[in-house]
Amino acid sequence: MESVEKRPTIKDVAAMAGVAKSTVSRYLNGKPVQEDSARRIRQAIAHYHYEANVFARLSAKQSNIIGIILPGFDSTVTPRVLTAMDKYLRTKDYTPLIINTEGDLELEVRSIGNLARMRVDGIIVVSTYLTAAHRQAVRDVQTPVVFMGQEFSDGISVLEDNLSAGEELGRYVAGRGLRAVGLLWVTEEDVAVGQRRREGVMRGLAAGGVTDVRVYQADFTYQTAYTVARQVLQQPDRPQILMCATDRIAYGAYKAVRELGLRVPQDISLTGFGGYDTNELLTPPLTSIRFDSETEACVCADTVLKMFRGEPVSKTQLIGYRFLEGGSVL
Amino acid sequence: MESVEKRPTIKDVAAMAGVAKSTVSRYLNGKPVQEDSARRIRQAIAHYHYEANVFARLSAKQSNIIGIILPGFDSTVTPRVLTAMDKYLRTKDYTPLIINTEGDLELEVRSIGNLARMRVDGIIVVSTYLTAAHRQAVRDVQTPVVFMGQEFSDGISVLEDNLSAGEELGRYVAGRGLRAVGLLWVTEEDVAVGQRRREGVMRGLAAGGVTDVRVYQADFTYQTAYTVARQVLQQPDRPQILMCATDRIAYGAYKAVRELGLRVPQDISLTGFGGYDTNELLTPPLTSIRFDSETEACVCADTVLKMFRGEPVSKTQLIGYRFLEGGSVL
DNA sequence: CTGAAAGCGCTTACAG
DNA sequence: CTGAAAGCGCTTACAG
């Protein structure tokens, strides 16, 4: 009769198999063990339904845990990223440990240190802004850190090719003959989106001969996008198109457009960035750019594992994208 | 000059403060410590920027970790739930440890045992189907377990009031004079949605005198919903309304409706369940029921903590909802 | 290949 | 209130 109280430990398995705890440990970690011992350990493990306690490996060289630091769960791409990372890590026998910072940069920085002290094998930071404190934190730890979404001049990062993507979209818009362009954008503090992506769009537009570009400041929320778009659309000299920094921002613009009784694209064209699955539900579907977040997630995970193993990795890796033509541009 | 290599441990803090490790530990855990010692410990902590390693508390009575088992990150409500839980737990000085099972029920069951052996203080299972193995797993561990989303006859659960919500929606639809009703629903294996929610709808419809109800089998994916809806809509005697088990399913139906050149609600009415934020982007906005997932998440967290402290909790707690009238019903 | 011993960082009775 | 010691579950040199 097994106890319902206590779960089996390595000691129980060792006792039943008639070997030392260390031998069980070795077996568990794929180190050479005599076939005879291995067999008995296997049996004992099966008998107890033993599974090692991942957190008791205080003195291990390898924890098989990767820390993932996120600014929040409610971004549209986060679930996609998390799912892909989780799946990839699991196939490599790794367990992800997720820390949600809710956009608290200070907590983000502290979490790097925390995870390092937990002896995780690597850290992936899904990042929005990089500060001096981030650089310092990375320098202070010996744990490999990969930044996703923002370029990290002092270290390793994986991010979208915002410049090229922006340029392609800009060229497309210019090519459709639109001349008065408005950008519904986010702060320049966000280097990847606020600067690089915008720069790409500008270049593409310029290449197509478009020079009349006004930039309207919004943020990443639906609500602000809606509010700002509403104001812009009511101006007598409103632009012919609102190019939005993200799809979510474009959603806010759709709402404003509909409320004002305007039509997309006859009265106002719209573009986004992100390629959310819900875009095709909009009428008309939103023209956008889709980044391959799944690949990005896997590349991050792969890179951090390589770093842990001491293998060489590229300093910066850019992820590709796909242009998605909807019907939201005249 | 501080070492960049080693992070500080409780030993370092104790040495600097001139006390024993155990005293530091006591201080950290809010147990009485002489003010003089406390002050020196505080200084040492500040000096080292010390933060305790959460995973080294192998022999602690309390881990301050709550395990959260999820079937995936990509459900529409998951981010909402996760954000709320995370925030709530953090205010209570707790750290969530998220396990993603990707819908693997066997892994879900094993995770309960795993988390228990990690000595988490409690486990929240965001659940889809409950099996005998689940019951057994819960019985086997001494760790408090709360199930969210499905009723758990053997233990504690927090879930939406699907019966009442369904009934309200059913009454509404009947009240609009619709008579030929189609349900685009999910498997009965899902007790909460597949059975309870449907039963509520049926009751509400019956109360309003609607008896012509056909049920079409789909699943939780957008793709299947679209495919099934397309078939249904092409039948010569198609229903006047498709009531969908979730908003996501309704999204699939919207797509089918649009592709077939039909209009909502003139040719076909639609309803959902969930009250996603994106509903208002649809044309016309989807009529739906919104459950208060944030409250549900906090109630779960609160309940599991109460259980850990040995306080009494209700066996089943039902979460309220709000009827959201869009324009998708004639 | 394997066992005994020491250690990972923290907590907990147990004396004092 | 506090220190020394033992322990949590696992891993790792070190002999053999």
Determine whether the interchain pair A82/B102 forms a contact, defined as Cβ–Cβ distance below 8 Å.
no
Proportion of chain B above pLDDT 70, given as a percent:
98
* Residue A3 zone, left/alpha/beta (φ > 0; ψ -120 to 50; rest): beta
Determine whether the interchain pair A117/B7 forms a contact, defined as Cβ–Cβ distance below 8 Å.
yes
How would you classify the pairing of strands B122-126 and B65-70?
parallel
Name the minimum distance, in Å, from the CA of A91 to any CA of chain B: 13
Average pLDDT value over all residues in chain B: 91
Per-residue pLDDT tens digits for B253-299: 999 998 899 999 999 999 999 988 788 888 889 999 999 999 999 99
Whether B1 has a pLDDT exceeding 60, the answer reads no
pLDDT band at residue B110, thresholds of 50, 70 and 90? confident
The predicted pLDDT at position B280 comes to 80
Tokens 């498709």, residue located: B242
Per-residue pLDDT tens digits for A270-322: 999 998 888 888 888 999 999 999 999 999 999 999 999 889 999 999 999 99
Determine whether the interchain pair A255/B280 forms a contact, defined as Cβ–Cβ distance below 8 Å.
yes
Distance in Å, residue B114 CA to nucleotide C6 C1':
28
The predicted pLDDT at position B3 comes to 34
Distance in Å, residue A34 CA to nucleotide D13 C1':
20
Q: Please, how many CA atoms are within 13 Å of residue A311, restricted to the half-sphere of its CB?
A: 7
Interface test with chain A among B11, B51, B54, B55, by most A beta carbons within 10 Å: B55
Polymer length of chain B = 330
- Helices (H), strands (E): how many in chain B? 11, 12
DSSP B7: P
Low-confidence ranges of chain A (pLDDT < 50): 1-5
Q: Is the CB of A22 under 7 A from strand C?
A: yes
What sign results for the dihedral spanned by CA atoms A308, A311, A312, A316? negative
Q: Identify which of A252, A295, A302, A297 has the alpha carbon closest to the alpha carbon of residue A272.
A: A252
Mean pLDDT, rounded, for B47-69? 85
Determine whether the interchain pair A281/B55 forms a contact, defined as Cβ–Cβ distance below 8 Å.
no
Determine whether the interchain pair B100/A86 forms a contact, defined as Cβ–Cβ distance below 8 Å.
yes
* Residue A213 zone, left/alpha/beta (φ > 0; ψ -120 to 50; rest): beta
Whether B87 has a pLDDT exceeding 60, the answer reads yes
The predicted pLDDT at position B6 comes to 64
Name the minimum distance, in Å, from the CA of B40 to any CA of chain A: 23
Tokens 């009240």, residue located: B175
Mean pLDDT, rounded, for B117-137? 90
Whether B116 has a pLDDT exceeding 50, the answer reads yes
Rounded CA-CA distance A329/A242 in Å is 10
User: Partners of B290 in the beta sheet?
Assistant: B322
Select the more confidently predicted residue: A8 or B16: B16
Q: Which residues of B175-184 are buried (b: 16+ CB within 10 A; e: fewer)?
A: ebebbebbbb
Distances in Å between the Cα of A202 and the Cα atoms of A128, A160, A232, B72 are 22, 17, 19, 38
pLDDT band at residue B32, thresholds of 50, 70 and 90? confident
Residue A214 burial (C-beta neighbours within 10 Å; 0-12, 13-18, 19+): middle
The predicted pLDDT at position B2 comes to 35
Distance in Å, residue A66 CA to nucleotide C9 C1':
20
The predicted pLDDT at position A286 comes to 94
Rounded CA-CA distance B73/B64 in Å is 23
Q: Identify which of A231, A275, A236 has the alpha carbon closest to the alpha carbon of residue A253.
A: A231
DSSP B94-121: -EEEEEE-TT-HHHHHHHHHHHHHTT-S
Rounded CA-CA distance B185/B249 in Å is 8
Residue B5: list chain A partners with CB under 8 A. Answer: 142
Whether B4 has a pLDDT exceeding 50, the answer reads no
Mean pLDDT, rounded, for B98-114? 89
The predicted pLDDT at position A3 comes to 34
pLDDT band at residue B304, thresholds of 50, 70 and 90? very high
Polymer length of chain A = 330
Three-class DSSP category at A127? coil
Phi, psi dihedrals of residue B69, rounded to the nearest 5°: -105, 125
Distance in Å, residue A118 CA to nucleotide C6 C1':
21
Residue A281: list chain B partners with CB under 8 A. Answer: 251, 254-255, 278, 281-282
Name the minimum distance, in Å, from the CA of B164 to any CA of chain A: 28
DSSP B128-176: S---HHHHHHHHH--S-EEEESS--TTSEEEEE-HHHHHHHHHHHHHHT
- How many A-B residue pairs are in contact by the CB < 8 A criterion? 103
Three-class DSSP category at A290? strand
The predicted pLDDT at position A235 comes to 92
Long-range contacts, stretch A146-155, CB < 8 angstroms, 24+ apart: A146/A122, A146/A300, A146/A303, A146/A304, A146/A307, A148/A81, A148/A124, A148/A296, A148/A297, A148/A300, A149/A192, A150/A190, A150/A191, A150/A192, A151/A191, A151/A192, A151/A196, A151/A316, A152/A127, A155/A315
The model's pTM is 0.86
Residue B227 burial (C-beta neighbours within 10 Å; 0-12, 13-18, 19+): middle
Rounded CA-CA distance A28/A311 in Å is 25
Tell me which residues have their CB below 7 A from strand D: A 6, 9-11, 21-22, 25-26, 28-29, 52-53, 56-62; B 18-23, 26, 32-34, 36-37, 58-59
Rounded CA-CA distance B124/A216 in Å is 44
User: Partners of B100 in the beta sheet?
Assistant: B70
DSSP A132-143: HHHHHHHHH--S
Q: Which residue is nearest to nucleotide C11 (CA to C1')?
A: B60
The answer to whether the CB of B191 falls within 8 A of the CB of B128 is no
Per-residue pLDDT tens digits for B185-244: 999 999 999 999 999 999 999 999 999 999 999 999 999 999 999 999 999 999 999 999
Interface test with chain A among B12, B73, B109, B276, by most A beta carbons within 10 Å: B73
